[in-house]
Structure 1
Amino acid sequence: MEPFSFASSATLNVPVAVKINSLDGQQKPVPFSTLLKRPELRYRGSNLSPHFELYVTAQLWADSKPLTVPVQTAYKHFKTGRTWNEWLSLPVNYSDAPYSSHLAITVWDLSPVDGEGANGHAIPFGGTTIALFDKENTLKKGRQRCYLHRHKVADGLSSSSTPASVPTPRKIRRNGETQSSQADERVKEMERLEALMKKHEMGEIPENKWLDQLVFRQIEKLERSVLRKSEQPKLSNLDAEIDNTGNDDAIDTDGNGEANDVDTNEKFYLYVDFPRFDHLIVFTDHEYPAPPVSTLQSHSLHNSDVRLKPPPEVTYGPGIGAEDGDHGDPDAGRLVRIYDPEVGIRENPCEIKHRRLVRGHRTNAMDRDLKPNAKIRDELNMIMSYGPTQALNGEERDLVWKFRHHLTRDKRALTKFVKSVNWSDSNEARQAVQLLPKWTEIDVDDALELLGPTFDNPAVRSYAVDRLRKADDEELLLYLLQLVQALKFEPKLDETSEERLTQDSSLARFLITRAANNFLLGNYFHWYLMVECDDLSPEQRPEHRKLFARVEYDFMMTLEQAADGAARRRTLLRQGEFIAILSKISKDIRFSREDRPKKIERLKKYLADPKNDVQTIDPPLPLPLDPNVLITSIDPTEASVFKSSLFPLLVSLRTSTGARYPIIFKTGDDLRQDQLVIQIITLMDRLLRKENLDLQLTPYAILATSPSAGAVQFVASSPLSAIVAKHKGSLLAYLRAHNPDSSAPLGVRRDAMDTYVKSCAGYCVITYLLGVGDRHLDNLLLSPSGRFFHADFGYILGRDPKPFAPLMKLCREMVEGMGGSGSPQYAMFRQHCFTAYSALRKSSNLILNLFALMCEANVPDIRIMEGRSAGLGGAAAVREASGGVVMKVMERFHLEMGEEEAERHFEGLIGDSVNAVLPVVIDRLHGLVQNWRA
């Protein structure tokens, strides 16, 4: 698309201005017969002299209400024509003018005798109303020709009776046929020429002086013919239009529906100029924040029967905002919404009274022995099957509360019970807290849900932390990224005391203790906290940075008290120094104005320089990316620089075992989104393995070391684009070259083909569930062993820069690598897809709760979801953002479907992806662009 430059009207802090140019039109002398009937007309200035002094007033209106007082031109003596050439400035800025703004411009005549519409001795000569903004929401500019409605004062009503556009002339019937007047055709031609004149003034039409003069003279002749020689229908042909009484003085030929005593066929046009700006001015309205609700009771919205009801609607007064066809209906008008701060916040008093009656605390003894009948048991089972994002209505919450003692045996019911409690009621909250220890042990996914943004009761969150204590360190590592983000949702019991920020948080104390007792856990915990502390972007709230800094400080103090804590703390400091050296080298390489070979040479020189302390690392340093790997040095001979715009570094590390561990280090890119996706892929791999389904996934290690830098494990592989180019479009040839077996069906070793088929199935399912976008042959990778995997997760949750992208990436090259769509390997691929999709749907609650904990993380695609709900403010925005993120993932699980229906749905996805044509074209175009860049 071509670039489109425009400015916002909200930033245009200059007064609304209009230039009154001239008045064109021919006024006919008033007949003596009319002067006998109306003698006051002989005293009007315009009837005495064709160039009598007239003045103009302009006033800004919006929604049928005046916004300013009228401003007027100076009194001026005309010699040859009515020309003012005067700018009028109104006392309101463009930034404050609403979209419905109209300029009501009235030309005034003078008369010592009062008349209809007179303002003192000023008699309306004519009026016109013109809008400031056009239908495309852009501010009008340049010369405007406004039709002047004779003897009327301009009104600024929404349905104005004095519009600036030329009214449609009434068509004349002659001999039973409808004919348009010749003057009407001349008017249309004049409008067309005036539009071209406007383009000529703005430089859109090239200038040709001698030819332009000829055209201008012809346009002047046409204007005179339209204004002075308007055809007048003969009375003999308008018998049907004349009043039966014989009064032929009031003939309506301009369609206004009103009788004019004089000047029946006179046409006047007022020419005005609007200011010109360098760019188009597009209307933008102010977004005012909602007024604070300070008089309302504070309580948790998620624990009460509060629904966001639609705001009330009211209509404008009679004649305001009416549509074109509603002028006759005084009650017609467009609707406006009124903000009521209590809607959706304050509960209905009737519902509060009802809940108190239903949950009367005097029946507690009876509630312990209550057991549901068959019908109620079915209703409770339906409630227990609800997902984490589904809210309970009032009846469901009352039902859960009534049978709460019976439901203590069901581990799924705890989250539903917590949602059913009115935590603002002290008696009800006390009973709920007393019941928590009696509940059967819940699953980890329910514990993670209780740590989310919708649960702020300390006792509930402490109960969830107690459940996490039973998880081992390996399992806890899978959720550590989300648990660090969950610190943002901890209740601040004493915000004035920094020392109590973490002491009052059961989750913070738990994470610090576990991280201090396990170096692997502590390594990642430290780096997750450091990235959040270093995030100085506007999206990261200052109180969150303060919280993470306090947790990091307490973690370091806890390490000092451990037996080997001082040594571990020094190790973390050495890791920071190592990352700082790589970051400095990466920035120098990135910003150096050299070609790639010289950048590689510069990189090798940096790494070989003893001043950088990377030739010998003693004692061996645990790699922050993977603390199980102890690095002893960096090999400068194997270093390289990628072609990407950020020029990532490829660095080969020597480990204590003598092996090589290559990593990619880059600056200028936030890797937290890729880190999140790899963490979810690692979790899904573990869930699938629990179902005895090993899909040969490759969740390579990735760690964000700052908001703009990070390290990635390098896996020896090739992008599909390079493989296709080298092997003439065949992945099968690539697999045969690296895994030959003449006895196998496709000439590829069975284990390599099995790995390829399984990994393709796994990544197709996982990338579909995560909504990974921007899939092309450059970020689809294949290793020599047959492992297929994805890289570069810059777009997730359904976002994709390419139009009409398929929901799942399964290209033709991938299918042909399996032997084609009719091969047994392709059938096995489909079966693996169905099995994996079904297995992950069973663990959907865990995955959804992990995304809910990330709702306030500064991850680009999650931040977009949060931005859409930012207008709510406070906790409501967090809940809305959490729901949006979770819904994007949940809609791909299709939990409303049964197993067979879900399998048919995924089968349709496979067919749509294989048969999609547009992705093939986009892949070709992407390849051409990459080749051109290279």
Structure 2
Amino acid sequence: MEAFSFATSSDLAQLSLHVRIDRLDGHQKAVPYSYLLKRPDLRHRASTTNPNSEVYITAQIWADSKPLTLPAQTSYKSFKNARLWNEWLSLPASYSNLPTSAQLAITVWDLSPAESQNSTLHAVPFGGTTIPLFDKDNTLQKGRQRCRLHRHKAADGLSGTTTPWTDPPVRKMHKDASENTIDEQVAEMQRLEELLKKQEMGEIPENRWLDNLVFKRMMKIRNEALKVEASAQTQHGKSPSHESGGEQQNNVDESDTELFYLDIELPRFDHAVVFADVEYPPPPMSNIKVETDSTVLQRPPPEVSFGPGINVNGYGEDTGRLIRIYDPEIGMKDNPAETKHLRLMRNQQTDALDRDRKPNVTVRDELNAILNYGPLREIKFKERDLIWKFRYYLLRDKRALTKFVKCVNWREPIDAQQAAPLLEKWAEIDIDAALELLGPSFDHPIVRSFAVERLKKADDDELLVYLLQLVQALKYEAAGEGDDSSLARFLVTRAANSFTLGNYFHWYLMVEISDFSDDQEPTHRELFAKVEYDFMFELEKTPSGVDKRNTFKRQGELLTVLTKISKDIRFSRQDRVGKVVQLKKFLGDPKNELVNIEPPLPLPLDPSITITGIYPEDCNVLKSSLYPIILNLKTTSGTKYPLFFKTGDDLRQDQLVIQIITLMDRLLRKENLDLKLTPYRILATSTSAGAVQFIPSMSLSSAVAKHKGSLLAYLRTNNPDDTAPLGVRKEAMDTYIKSCAGYCVITYLLGVGDRHLDNLLISPSGHFFHVDFGYILGRDPKPYAPQMKLCHEMIEGMGGDRSPNYLAFKNYAFTAWSTLRKQANLLLNLFALMQGANIPDIKVEREGVVRKVEERLWLGVGEEEASERWERLIEESKGSWWGRGIDIAHAVAQNVWRK
């Protein structure tokens, strides 16, 4: 056998299906006037008035009598001499997702002012054809294809399609001389078509001057073949139809037979592409116990009905019902054989031997490799057995505790009985390990209680950094334990004794309670309501608890008034100037009690700030789609506290990003690396409203426009120093370089998208920072966006890519990334706790959230290779033309919108 090289369809995972619509050839004659009298609506059809009318084409993928995608449509074309599109259509499906029964249903639509039963649009089917994407050998079709068009029918993708794609069959020699002539012409046309395909595939060399002559001759032969084939069909009793439904009209002359072919082209590949299904992993196993009640076993099987045209048993008939059989092993997490082995090995008799067991050098290296696994790494059966075997030896290593907990089957009483005492003897774990034990993978009360005991040693400031995730961790409590769990009791107690902690704890809970979306389970909403009730009850036990509870009530009243005002401003029909006047009137209205707030009230956004009122005249409305309002609050210190308040937007995603930035700033400062970050405060007060701290600053687009395209000129204007190298005060330039490095690293790790010059801000002191985190974890509304936002304007502000400042920027960036990389477990565990949160970019793929962050940490790469890859990343981001194009396109769109 000759060697056969091929690729599989599963290898084309990133390649979507394309088809080129070439031309429509056919024989069409005018409709007789006598028939137009019966059907006056045909006079207005485009094809009736013009043989080269402006028809259009739709293509759709079908399989098993069901449409798989939405149809794709050709653009408008004005035809003169022939219906020629030469247009590629992209269909929303990849080759790897196509089944072997996939078909391409192509319909040519004729424009008509009258609607028909086949279409609710002002178009009727001109003809349709259905071509299978895989041939009988399960090989993907490619190259030029000539499809027979079934007149006045829309293409259907049923298994037994009524609009099949068929090549004209080559007739055998007949005694009739006229039929012999027809056979020769059709056969010659097919032969030339096959030769043309071979030349396009590179099997026949090109000869341009000779090919042009051949192509002209081919077109002439094609037209002649269409005519003789149409006349041959007339002689065999076939007549055309001018009805939209395809019914035959006996009163139409048989010589008016219409025969059309549509030329399309499918992508060509270097090798044949053979269908290969996705190899799915075996189904997980389950410990679910099923009752053996006879009533359960005697339930009738479900009725199953199949769609039209589906071949059920090979004969096209449904002769029976689908019977569902219960398999007790489906859904089990553990292998029964491995579980039995562990039961035999883990018993009280071997415990005495394991106490004195010491690993040799080889085993010690294996254990160290296992302890270095990340939180997402699955521990194999042999590795679990090894950790259990040397559990007493590992007591002194704090890294081993989470691995040990994963090795224990906590559902087995014997395992839990032996493992629980060891938790108290283990070396004290870090906070990241405690957070991992509170994640969705651990639901046993003993494990979660142990993690809470570790959290009790953290002070309020550290606990506040993780509070957002700890509130979400309440969702992972075991059934029946969530409303009275150790974690809930701990949070309630700590929040009741710290007003700052209690302030944020209260509002985090209130947002979850007010979430009535389909993504929030009613049981979780009830859980948070119970925890809020317990918090208020515990709060009243403290000496100043009643006053604190009244404070939270007054905060709620303030936010209710601000929410109403923001909504009224947003939905007001006035222009922006009118909205500002309306806002000032609302704020100054005495019945709203906002000019003077007595007694002073701690601000929910920042409880360390106590406000006494709002300045009505010093407010504004931003020109944005949601029209957020800017308020200046009076404080007890006599200073103004500016903030945004907006409705119509869920700020929980921005709140999460700012919380992570605050944590990263804390981690970097611990390593004596202050990158001058600006983690401004955000508080979501409901699922559609929230407050944002306003930082006096200017967007890069405004700064560049104001200073004639130079960000360096902006820094020089606000921080002049003639003795400095670039004329900018050294402290301001250092602040700018460090903050650029910090935010480049952080936004890369978080996969922040939709970056443009309007959401990159800079303050007069040189602090650079990002705002508007509507897209994170690698999502971006713009295609081909760079992974890191490092635009030309940012580098120009440093003095260019050849200045020492740019080199310092790269050093700061790599040091920050390397430092945060060492804290990978903490970051990954925090995102693991947020998997159940109703945050837009987390809901898209909950299971893949942690993976997306892990991919950007390059955990499996050594330090030297990581340094080289980081250098390439910065250089690629710096020279990204796509990023530059995105900034230009966004600027143009914003100018059009403002006008």
TM-score (norm 1): 0.67
1:764·1:808 contact (CA, 8 Å) conserved in 2?
A: yes
**Which residue, 624, 637, 642 being the options, matches 2:617?**
637
Shift of the alpha carbon at 1:168?
Answer: 3.2
Amino acid in structure 2 at the alignment position of 1:741: D
Separation in structure 2 between the aligned mates of residue 863 and residue 685 of structure 1, nearest angstrom:
27
Is 1:717–1:781's contact at 8 Å kept on the other side of the alignment? yes
Equivalent positions of 1:178-577 (< 5 A) are 181-183=184-186, 225-227=231-233, 296-297=288-289, 342-343=329-330, 345=332, 347-493=334-480, 501-503=482-484, 505-577=485-557
Q: Is the 8 A contact 1:100 1:131 kept in 2?
A: no
For 1:116, the equivalent position in structure 2 comes to none
Residues 175-216 of structure 1 deviation map (CA, whole Å, 9 limit, x = unaligned)? xxx997224689999xxxxxxxxxxxxxxxxxxxxxxxxxxx
The answer to whether the 8 Å contact 1:646/1:666 transfers is yes
Partner of 1:681: 661
2:863 is aligned to 899
Contact 1:291–1:341 (Cα < 8 Å) also in 2: no
Distance 1:161 1:183 in 2: 24
Q: In the alignment, is the contact (CA less than 8 A) between 1:632 and 1:654 conserved in 2?
A: yes
Aligned-residue offset at 1:293? 9.2
Indicate if the aligned counterparts of 2:130 and 2:163 stay in contact, CA closer than 8 A.
no
For 1:408, what is the secondary structure of its paired residue? Answer: helix
Partner letter of residue 472 of structure 1? D
Task: Decide whether aligned partners of structure 1 residues 188 and 630 sit closer, same or farther in structure 2, where only a CA change above 3 A counts.
Answer: farther
SS of corresponding position for 1:895: coil
Distance 1:690 1:486 in 2: 26
**Residue 736 of structure 1, aligned match among 710, 716, 725:** 716
SS at match of 2:677: coil
Of 636, 647, 652, which residue of structure 2 is paired with 1:656? Answer: 636
Question: Structure 1 157/538 Cα, relative in aligned 2: closer, same or farther at 3 Å?
Answer: closer
Look up the match of 1:57.
Answer: none
- 1:887 matched to 2:851? The reply is yes
| In structure 1, distance between residues paired with 2:240 and 2:546 | 86
Q: Distance in 2 between matches of 1:272 and 1:413?
A: 79
Q: 1:267–1:349: structure 2 CA closer, same or farther, 3 Å change rule?
A: farther
Q: Give, as a single letter, the amino acid of the residue that structure 1 aligns with 2:422.
A: L
Structure 1 residues 691, 518: CA separation in 2 closer, same or farther (over 3 Å shift)?
A: same
1:226 Cα offset (Å) = 2.0
8 Å CA contact retained: 2:129, 2:165: no
Cα deviations by residue, 1:628-678 (Å, 9 ceiling, x for unpaired): 000001001110000010000000001001000000000000000000000
Closer, same or farther: CA 564–733 of 1 in aligned 2, 3 Å: same
**Residues 795-834 of structure 1 aligned to structure 2 (within 5 Å):** 795-834=775-814
- Letter matched to residue 450 of structure 1: L
CA RMSD after TM alignment: 3.6
Contact 1:142 1:275 in 2 (8 A): no
Q: Name the counterpart of 2:108.
A: none
Cα distance per residue 1:13-62 (max 9 Å; x no partner): xxxxxxxxxxxxxxxxxxxxxxxxxxxxxxxxxxxxxxxxxxxxxxxx99
Q: CA offsets, 1:691-724, max 9 Å, x none?
A: 0000000000110000000000000000001111
Counterpart amino acid of 2:454? R
* 2:873 alignment partner, one of 901, 905, 909: 909
| Aligned-partner Cα distance in 2 for 1:451–1:563 | 32
Asked if the contact 2:675–2:741 (Cα under 8 Å) also holds between the matched residues in 1, the reply is yes
Q: Hey, what's the Cα distance between the residues in 1 that align with 2:806 and 2:102? A: 64
Larger Rg: 1
Determine helix, strand or coil for the equivalent of 1:705.
strand
| Distance (Å, rounded) in 1 between the aligned partners of 2:565 and 2:870 | 47
What code does the residue aligned with 1:226 have?
Answer: A
Matches within 5 A, 1:161-172: 165-169=166-170
1:143 maps to: 152
Cα deviation for residue 345 of structure 1 reads 2.1
**How many Å separate the matches in 2 of 1:903 and 1:793?**
28
Aligned partner letter, 2:884: V
1:340 Cα deviation after fit: 6.9
Q: 3-state SS of the aligned residue for 2:356?
A: coil
Identity, % of aligned pairs? Answer: 60
CA 1:141–1:741 in 2, change beyond 3 Å: closer, same or farther?
A: farther
Q: Does 1:701 align with 2:656?
A: no
Deviation at 1:902, TM superposition (A): 1.3
2: distance between equivalents of 1:711 and 1:609? 21
C-alpha contact 1:759 1:789 (8 A) present in aligned 2: yes
Would the alpha carbon gap of residues 840 and 296 (structure 1) be closer, same or farther in structure 2, given more than 3 Å must change? same
CA distance in structure 2 between the partners assigned to 1:557 and 1:141 by the alignment: 76
Name stretches of at least 5 consecutive residues in structure 2 with no aligned partner. 1-61, 66-98, 104-126, 135-148, 175-180, 193-223, 247-281, 291-310, 315-324
For residue 883 of structure 2, the aligned residue among 901, 916, 919 is 919
Specify the alignment match of 2:573 in structure 1.
593
Note closer, same or farther for the CA distance 1:186–1:416 as it changes in structure 2 (3 Å cut). closer
CA shift digits 1:202-236 (9 cap, x unpaired): xxxxxxxxxxxxxxxx999867622256xxxxxxx
Separation of aligned partners in 2, 1:291 and 1:391: 17
Rounded to whole Å, the distance in 2 between the matches of 1:164 and 1:579 is 65
Provide the residue aligned with 1:757 in structure 2: 737
Aligned twin of 2:210? none
Please report the TM-score for the alignment, with normalisation by the length of structure 2: 0.69
Shift of 1:396: 0.4
Contact between 1:668 and 1:708, CA under 8 Å: does it hold in 2? yes
Given that 1:144 and 1:271 are in contact with CA atoms closer than 8 Å, whether structure 2 keeps it comes out as no
SS in 2 for 1:526: helix
In the TM superposition, what is the alpha-carbon distance from 1:574 to its structure 2 partner?
Answer: 0.3
Instruction: Output the CA distance in 2 between the equivalents of 1:275 and 1:100.
Output: 27
- Using the alignment, how far apart are the partners of 2:532 and 2:449 within structure 1? 21
Counterpart check, 1:930 vs 2:898: no
Return closer, same or farther for 1:932/1:522 CA change in 2, 3 Å cut-off.
Answer: same
Secondary structure of the equivalent of 2:683?
A: strand
C-alpha contact 2:395 2:425 (8 A) present in aligned 1: yes
CA distance in 2, matches of 1:297, 1:775: 51
> Partners of 2:673 and 2:665 in 1: how far apart?
9
Partners of 1:142 and 1:274 within 8 A in 2? no
Taking the aligned partners of 2:700 and 2:447, their CA distance within structure 1 comes to 50
- Checking the alignment, whether the CA contact within 8 Å between 2:711 and 2:794 is kept in structure 1 is yes
For these two proteins, the number of residue pairs brought into alignment is: 664
Deviation, 1:901, is 1.5
**1:203 corresponds to:** none
**Any conservation in 2 of the 1:848–1:889 contact (CA below 8 Å)?**
yes
Task: Give 1:275 deviation, angstroms.
Answer: 6.8
Query: 1:347 offset after TM fit, Å?
Result: 4.4
**Alpha-carbon deviation of 1:358?**
3.4
- Identify if the C-alpha distance between structure 1 residues 180 and 224 changes in structure 2 by more than 3 Å, giving closer, same or farther: closer
Cα shift readout 1:890-910 (whole Å, capped 9, x = no counterpart): 100001112221111111111
Contact 1:100 1:133 in 2 (8 A): no
Q: Any stretches of 5+ residues in structure 1 without a counterpart?
A: 1-60, 65-97, 103-129, 147-155, 190-217, 230-265, 277-289, 299-318, 323-337, 495-500, 867-880
Q: Partner letter of residue 415 of structure 1?
A: T
**What CA distance in whole angstroms lies between the structure 2 residues aligned with 1:562 and 1:662?**
33
Change (3 A) 1:369 1:275: farther
The one-letter code of the counterpart of 2:896 is: W
Matched residue, 2:213: none
What SS is found at the alignment partner of 2:392? Answer: helix
Q: Are the structure 2 counterparts of residues 854 and 621 from structure 1 closer, same or farther at C-alpha, using a change threshold of 3 Å?
A: same
